[in-house]
Amino acid sequence: MYEKYLERLEEAGKIRNLKERSISCYKNYVSYFLKYQAKRPEELTCQDVRTFLLAKKEEGLKATTLNLYNSAIRFFYQNVLHILWDDITVPRMILEHKLPTVLTIDEIDRLLEVVDDIKYKAMFATMYSSGMRVSEVIHLHYDDISRSNKQIHVRDTKNRMDRYTILSKRCLDILTQYWFEKERPRGILFPNKFTGNYLTVSTLE
């Protein structure tokens, strides 16, 4: 029933050069919204979005998830349905900003010691020492690791801006151990063992 609208949503995302995973998320969120409302898309209003988000909040969804719904449906309204968006009727929810739990050096050491697979130990060490996202680590290439400069070249970031981050000696030691114990990949640093392609965040296999 809504396939043609989701196809138009995908096209709108591609013409704006959104990442594939962003387009996929938008399609999923909008699909949930359309099925919930069960109305012809042309009949939808911003009040429908407000009602939907309030219902989801009552179900226990967090503000971060609700704001993702907000972004996806707003994109759909503006770029597919061409409906004027009302930020007063459908405001973004205020997020709580709590200080993160920071592990001590001893806690991190104990965490790494219990990881038997050197590949995953190398990935965890890279994330903890550099502050990289999981999606950034799984897209690392061998040439992104600069041993001489003690830096990691981070590509395919969330905002499409490359950057450099630190490479600690401990992390470099673990990466070196991984390199010599595993298949020594010259391309993707942490390839999928079955396909040789990138790992995915959902499987990490």
CA atoms of 142 and 190, how far apart (whole Å): 9
Pairing of strands 163-166, 151-154: antiparallel
Q: What is the CA radius of gyration of the chain?
A: 21
pLDDT of residue 60: 95
Q: Could you tell me the pTM of the whole model?
A: 0.69
Do 3-81 and 105-181 have matching folds? no
Topology of the domain comprising 3-81: DNA polymerase; domain 1 (1.10.150)
Please check whether residue 205 is in contact with residue 194, taking contact to mean a CB–CB distance below 8 angstroms.
yes
The stretches in the chain having pLDDT less than 70 are: 183, 201-205
pLDDT of residue 27: 97
pLDDT of residue 198: 87
- Sorted by sequence, the CB contacts under 8 Å of residue 24 that are 6+ apart come out as none
Domain range list for the chain: 3-81, 105-181
pLDDT of residue 93: 94
CA atoms of 205 and 193, how far apart (whole Å): 7
pLDDT of residue 59: 96
Q: What is the CATH number of domain 105-181?
A: 1.10.443.10
- Using alpha carbons, select from 13, 39, 50 the residue that is nearest to residue 28: 13
| Residue 201 tokens, joined | 């965040």
